[in-house]
Structure 1
Amino acid sequence: MTAVLRTLAVPSGPAVSSVLPILSDILSGAADPILPVPADDARDAARLTDALAPGAPIEDGVALVVATSGSTGIPKGALLSAAALRASASATHARLGGAGSWLLALPAHHIAGMQVLLRSIAANTEPVVLDVRHGFDPNTLPAAIENMDGPRRYTSLVPTQLIKVLDNPAATAALASLDAVLLGGAATPAPVLARAVDAGITVVRTYGMSETCGGCVYDGVPLDGVTVSMDASNRPASGLPASGRVFLGGATLASGYRGLPDHPAFAEPGLFRTDDAGVLTENGVLRIVGRLDEAITTGGLTVVPQVVEAALATHDGIAECAVVGVSDARLGERVAVAIVPARGSTVTLDDVRAHVAQSLNTHASPREMLLVDALPLRGPGKVDRAAVRSMFTVGG
């Protein structure tokens, strides 16, 4: 009998425990496939259901359909099997030193939050849950971590959450008591990582996506059963170090996208074609350089936003930033940056341009700047670059 995809409304806060029995059946392969949607956001739930067609038949072997962040405005649904989810949980615990209890601090209908619940089920532990419906409050972290059972304790965060924690001494101390803090969803600025390490926090940087059951490369090293390869023929133009497109494969890989059997990302059997440019060291350690689909062409030269952001991350007056290309009649695109200033700091465009020019070519220096209270996000921790770009074009 052909399986039918059904919707699972996933609550926020402690009520999320109500879905654990269903997820346990999903992980064992004993339940019909589900599409997680947020129970507390009717608009987003409708967006996902409209795009991914719950109630319609679905391919055999699918346990979970997890929506991508939908940067194009139309979300895709990664088809994940129970075997892939089990492989991911097992490989994660093996890399971290053993099964343990987990703290959920992310929306559970996204892959990173969903994996916290699935890893808890795989470890036969009860997750401790923060209520993030109204945003992440680091003041709630110490009590939550105190309630976690040992002997090993873990959580998963995005960089914006870590930045808030590091400004809160009690939360920082609590996070440092955990055996590992998985950090993913976006690149972590080097100064933020250094502050975390200095504070005694055991940070494990993760790389992956919905199509790979979430993070599948930890600190540049693939998890057991995961493969990383490069396609040197797809190297980007100037503006990046010698690099290639990253391909991921192995036990945690999705079988494709819902309703898109011929999508080019899965054109090569057993591999997922990412939009990331990376470098593999001689020891097989992966370093992500930037997104191939976000490169800016300015005056005939290529600028990668993440490279400029990494340069700006070393500026003491900048807490967070996002670099985008804005249409320009003379240059094609001009480099623009939205900046969240560090507390008590004053940042000027001239200062920003001079700082970037210390380490990059002058064409990479931003020509326009906006100061903002916070960067717009899409999904957990990912900057919404389209929304940032619109900040510069509205009224322009």
Structure 2
Amino acid sequence: MTEGTIPAALDRAAEHFAGREALVDGEVRLSYAELARRVRQAARFFEGHERVAICSPNTWHWVVAGLGALYAGATLVPVNTRFTARETIDILERARVSALVITGTFLGTDRLADLGSARPGTVLRIPVEGVEEPISGVTEWDALTGLDSDFVSPAEPDGVSDILFTSGTTGRGKGAMSSHRQALSVAGAWADCGGLTEQDRYLVINPFFHSFGYKAGIVAAVLRGATMLPQRTFDVRETLRLIETEHVTVLPGAPTIHQVLLDAPERANHDLSSLRLAVTGAATVPVALVERMQTELSFDTVLTAYGLTEAVVATMSRPGDDAKLVANYTGRATAGFEVKLGEHDEVLLRGPNVMLGYLDDPDATAKAVDTDGWLHTGDVGVLNERGYLKIVDRIKDMYVCGGFNVYPAEIEQVLSRLDGVAESAVVGVPDQRLGEVGKVFVIPRTGSALSTEDVIAHCEGELANYKIPRFVDFVAELPRNLSGKVLKRVLRKENG
């Protein structure tokens, strides 16, 4: 086994924490020794595959399959479960995925059926909502239990461990590639800042398809021997129940999650005293929220962090930082990163954990990472005298809805295919619950009878739910500069 890989980290955990609970999901309780055994069975299934995609909610199956793909030496390609079939197929094709792990029916939608003939040649189906009808050419999850678990991982530290897709200002996703060494480094830095240990019980609400759930979740837990408790979807009653019955100690998540917990009428009926660590970010964090998290949710430590798919975690608060500092700043550099401000105070990052590059896109890579190795984030920031970073604006038009990045250009491209739309512009507008939601300004074609319902319905058929605009405004014209470019800052100012 080669050191410096995620499989090697799992093997160490299986040795050092063999009998400790690694994974708890409903009636399923796996020790680290049992988790490692099941992962090696999954690796046997994925043997010979170069890239393996997973499209599933947070369950114990995702952990076993994801680590199994990495153990087999394959590159892991997580797929956002909120994507439509069109968006999913685009990623599967561009990443040249040969094996897919996917849930059947989940939340009333059969994601496997929606792919039709576009599915890869090898498919492993996860049973999330009961027994599914057999499908020719599809392997059911239970088939893994009969496979040989004697497997030696061929993974290498500098091999590509994962490709995480992120949208760009052009509206088309780019696949950010990282190595095993980098994934371990950022996860280890996150764990160090939070003081994660084998005594911790980590409720993972952040989706595994996101770096926050995968690297700061699964990989961080494996490194420290913590117990993972995946939650499929955020349900405040279930979250409160799990915190009390499973003695959860670590609960990261977007500010929205903690706000909902605080406001839940049922909260007073649950013992939440086990909570010790919260890590949040992805949106503005009010000082009052941090203070309430500490006093009313009994967190000893509340931290904020800043990162992006191309760097995962770049800055992070430290235990002992006061509530005002935690709320207003995203912490200081971690995981070997340097942070500085470039032109227009753009946040620039440099270090060993900047992505290897975008999949099959050297031009986009060169635009993102300059010749001196600085990653241009597109965010505008301020650094205080202690090196703490505050994000104050975005150079790009991206906004954050419920913790997920939304890129207006992608929505505008979808709307360009709707009959009756002459032009559209999308901006993020404030929302008390989700942070920001989309508002679209539509210039209708002459004679069009287009309605708000038409616009929303079209988006629902083409986009993940967090990308769907909540508001539609029909206008005769849009504010523009002298070159004709739409002035989105004017739209945001008028609707802020």
Which interval holds the TM-score relative to the shorter structure? 0.5 to 0.7
The structural deviation recorded for 1:145 is: 2.0
- Contact 2:341-2:347 within 8 A present in 1 as well: yes
Matched, 1:208 2:311: no
Matched, 1:36 2:78: yes
Partner residue in 2 for 1:75: 173
Counterpart among 386, 390, 400 of residue 287 in structure 1: 390
Partner residue in 2 for 1:253: 354
Q: Following the alignment from structure 1 to structure 2, what is the Cα–Cα distance between the partners of residues 109 and 257? A: 17
Q: Following the alignment from structure 1 to structure 2, what is the Cα–Cα distance between the partners of residues 252 and 294? A: 25
Matched, 1:195 2:276: no
Superposed CA offset, 1:255-305 (max 9, x none): 111111232112334331101000011111111101012399xxxxxxxx9
Matched, 1:6 2:51: yes
Q: Following the alignment from structure 2 to structure 1, what is the Cα–Cα distance between the partners of residues 66 and 315? A: 20
- Contact 2:339-2:349 within 8 A present in 1 as well: yes
Partner residue in 1 for 2:18: none
Matched, 1:391 2:472: yes
The structural deviation recorded for 1:198 is: 4.0
Q: Following the alignment from structure 2 to structure 1, what is the Cα–Cα distance between the partners of residues 211 and 251? A: 14
- Contact 2:313-2:335 within 8 A present in 1 as well: no
> Could you state the TM-score of these two structures normalised by the residue count of structure 2?
0.53
The one-letter code sitting in structure 1 at the alignment partner of 2:341 is M
The one-letter code sitting in structure 2 at the alignment partner of 1:167 is D
Unaligned 5+ runs, structure 1: 236-243, 297-304, 330-377
The structural deviation recorded for 1:74 is: 1.4
Superposed CA offset, 1:305-350 (max 9, x none): 99x96xxx9xxxx556648897799xxxxxxxxxxxxxxxxxxxxx
Matched, 1:228 2:339: yes
- Contact 1:108-1:114 within 8 A present in 2 as well: yes
Q: 1:198 to 1:379 in 2, by over 3 A?
A: farther
Q: Following the alignment from structure 1 to structure 2, what is the Cα–Cα distance between the partners of residues 395 and 198? A: 50
Q: Following the alignment from structure 1 to structure 2, what is the Cα–Cα distance between the partners of residues 294 and 32? A: 34
The structural deviation recorded for 1:197 is: 3.7
Counterpart among 42, 45, 48 of residue 91 in structure 2: 48
Unaligned 5+ runs, structure 2: 1-47, 100-155, 318-329, 400-426, 444-462, 478-496
- Contact 1:253-1:272 within 8 A present in 2 as well: yes
Q: 1:32 to 1:41 in 2, by over 3 A?
A: same
- Contact 1:154-1:178 within 8 A present in 2 as well: yes
- Contact 1:141-1:174 within 8 A present in 2 as well: no
Segment drifting more, 174-183 vs 278-287? 174-183
Partner residue in 1 for 2:243: 145
Partner residue in 2 for 1:265: 368
Counterpart among 174, 180, 195 of residue 277 in structure 2: 180
TM alignment of 1:311-390, pairs within 5 A: 322=436, 384=467, 387=469
Partner residue in 2 for 1:121: 222
Q: 1:282 to 1:41 in 2, by over 3 A?
A: closer
Q: 1:175 to 1:75 in 2, by over 3 A?
A: farther
Query: Which secondary structure does the structure 2 equivalent of 1:392 belong to?
Result: strand
Segment drifting more, 100-109 vs 140-149? 140-149
Query: Which secondary structure does the structure 1 equivalent of 2:357 belong to?
Result: coil
Query: Which secondary structure does the structure 2 equivalent of 1:391 belong to?
Result: strand
Q: 1:180 to 1:251 in 2, by over 3 A?
A: farther
Partner residue in 2 for 1:371: none
Partner residue in 1 for 2:22: none
Q: 1:162 to 1:394 in 2, by over 3 A?
A: farther
The structural deviation recorded for 1:67 is: 1.3
Counterpart among 241, 255, 273 of residue 159 in structure 1: 255
Q: 1:248 to 1:319 in 2, by over 3 A?
A: same
Name which one, 1 or 2, has greater alpha-carbon Rg.
2
> Could you state the TM-score of these two structures normalised by the residue count of structure 1?
0.65
The structural deviation recorded for 1:246 is: 0.4
Query: Which secondary structure does the structure 1 equivalent of 2:307 belong to?
Result: strand
Counterpart among 265, 271, 278 of residue 381 in structure 2: 278
Segment drifting more, 76-85 vs 103-112? 103-112
Q: Following the alignment from structure 1 to structure 2, what is the Cα–Cα distance between the partners of residues 181 and 208? A: 16
The one-letter code sitting in structure 2 at the alignment partner of 1:137 is D
- Contact 1:61-1:81 within 8 A present in 2 as well: yes
Between the aligned residues of both structures, percent identity stands at 24
Q: Following the alignment from structure 2 to structure 1, what is the Cα–Cα distance between the partners of residues 353 and 245? A: 31
Q: Following the alignment from structure 2 to structure 1, what is the Cα–Cα distance between the partners of residues 159 and 333? A: 24
Query: Which secondary structure does the structure 2 equivalent of 1:77 belong to?
Result: strand
Query: Which secondary structure does the structure 1 equivalent of 2:354 belong to?
Result: coil
The one-letter code sitting in structure 2 at the alignment partner of 1:251 is P
- Contact 2:440-2:469 within 8 A present in 1 as well: no
The one-letter code sitting in structure 2 at the alignment partner of 1:222 is A
- Contact 1:102-1:128 within 8 A present in 2 as well: yes
The structural deviation recorded for 1:163 is: 2.0
Q: 1:277 to 1:80 in 2, by over 3 A?
A: same
Matched, 1:17 2:60: yes
Q: Following the alignment from structure 2 to structure 1, what is the Cα–Cα distance between the partners of residues 218 and 358? A: 23
Q: Following the alignment from structure 1 to structure 2, what is the Cα–Cα distance between the partners of residues 92 and 379? A: 29
Q: Following the alignment from structure 1 to structure 2, what is the Cα–Cα distance between the partners of residues 328 and 40? A: 25
